[in-house]
Amino acid sequence: MRVAIVGATGAVGTEFLGILEERRFPVTSLSLFASERSAGRELEFRGSPVTVRALPDDGDLEADVVFSSAGGSLSRAHAQAWARHGAIVIDNTSAWRMDPDVPLVVPEANGDDALAHRGIIANPNCSTIIALVALAPLHRAFGLRRATVATYQAVSGAGMAGIDELRDLTRAALDGDPLRPRKFRHSIAFNLFSHDSDIGDDGYNVEERKLLLESRKILGLPELRISATCVRVPVFRAHSEAIHAEFEGPVSADAAREVLAAAPGIRVVDDRQRNTFPMPLDASGGDDVLVGRLREDTSLPGALALFVAGDQIRKGAALNAVQIAEHLIAQGALRAPVP
């Protein structure tokens, strides 16, 4: 399989390299693309250096599958051309997610939706993916109706610049040096703030709106009601979410735990004796979404409270995209062309 990564030098782009290698993805050739500024850099894949190139003008990435994470406007401008040259584009930006002709896929929730693609498949937003790995099996078992979500989102969602800023400002704060945020409007050192995305007339920011609209599309529930409060916290690379969920009928914590324990992509971490539940540090670098704090909601009989944590760069981005490609391969829908 000829694989191209667009945005190869970013936080998600570099993660693709490791994940393709770890999972023995059937790569026959690997092309790495990034901005002109990064062209010429070398990244390592399977022990060999691969040179990063600028995107070709003609849109032919000479690839069977393209993993794109170089920003929405670039993807909006070029993804169709990449697909016209024969690639299946798995796009990790917001550009195509709500396009009715583009499947939006979390393999654990709606993997087969990917089969209906017309050249582009969208990878959902990170906080949506992490919530839905837990909510999709609960929905299948009990019928999800409403959820309120409060997020604890890592700085990696803002890319390498977010990661650098957390490290640099934290050191400055410890040393008593002035705090000069560059990537974020506010200092993230020992602080937290409402998500750094635009805010609509109803007061919800874009991140919160994604959680609502993307979940509706992925679960095929146009009437699903979600209200989210998205918050950036001083954590490097895993998002956590406190969720209250309401279903068609009453759901016990035990029934939910049983469903979640059998669901793919989940590790139940719910040790009340040792006060050990999902934590971003434990989720970081792993594939599973950690799910715990399973409780029957004391404020609404039949509803459920839970807490999840997942690696934002992996399951929230690169891993989910690779899993979409793997699902296509398993279904015979993504093949290397016969030479």
Residue 32 or 155 having the CB closest to its own copies: 155
Residues forming a β-bridge with 22: none
Residue 117 or 195 having the CB closest to its own copies: 195
Residue 23 or 216 having the CB closest to its own copies: 216
Q: How far is the CB of 86 from its own copies (least distance, A)?
A: 41
Q: How far is the CB of 15 from its own copies (least distance, A)?
A: 18
Structure-block tokens of residue 113: 């939706």
> Hey, is 167 helix, strand or coil?
helix
Residues known to be catalytic: 126, 239
Residues at the site binding its own copies, with contacts judged by CB under 8 A: 146-148, 150, 152, 166-167, 170-171, 174, 185-187, 190-194, 196, 199, 202-205, 212, 225-227, 229, 231, 233-236, 240, 242, 244, 253, 272, 274-277, 279-281, 292-300, 305, 307
Q: How far is the CB of 148 from its own copies (least distance, A)?
A: 5
Tell me the residue length of the chain: 339
Non-local (6+) Cβ contacts of 205 within 8 A are 194, 195, 197, 198, 199, 230
Q: Which of 286, 291, 300 is nearest to 251 (CA)?
A: 300
The whole-angstrom separation of Cα 290 and Cα 213 is 23
CB 126 within 8 A of CB 157: yes
The whole-angstrom separation of Cα 248 and Cα 256 is 14
Residue 141 or 206 having the CB closest to its own copies: 206
Q: How far is the CB of 244 from its own copies (least distance, A)?
A: 5
The whole-angstrom separation of Cα 322 and Cα 337 is 19
Residue 231 or 255 having the CB closest to its own copies: 231
Q: How far is the CB of 304 from its own copies (least distance, A)?
A: 10
The whole-angstrom separation of Cα 113 and Cα 102 is 9
Q: How far is the CB of 4 from its own copies (least distance, A)?
A: 33
- DSSP strand pairing (231-232 vs 238-247): unpaired
Q: Which of 25, 4, 8, 13 is nearest to 326 (CA)?
A: 25
Non-local (6+) Cβ contacts of 254 within 8 A are none
Structure-block tokens of residue 117: 């693609």
Non-local (6+) Cβ contacts of 276 within 8 A are 269
Residue 24 or 185 having the CB closest to its own copies: 185
Residue 3 or 313 having the CB closest to its own copies: 313
> Hey, is 15 helix, strand or coil?
helix
Helices within 67-205 (DSSP H only): 72-84, 107-110, 126-142, 159-175
CB 227 within 8 A of CB 148: yes
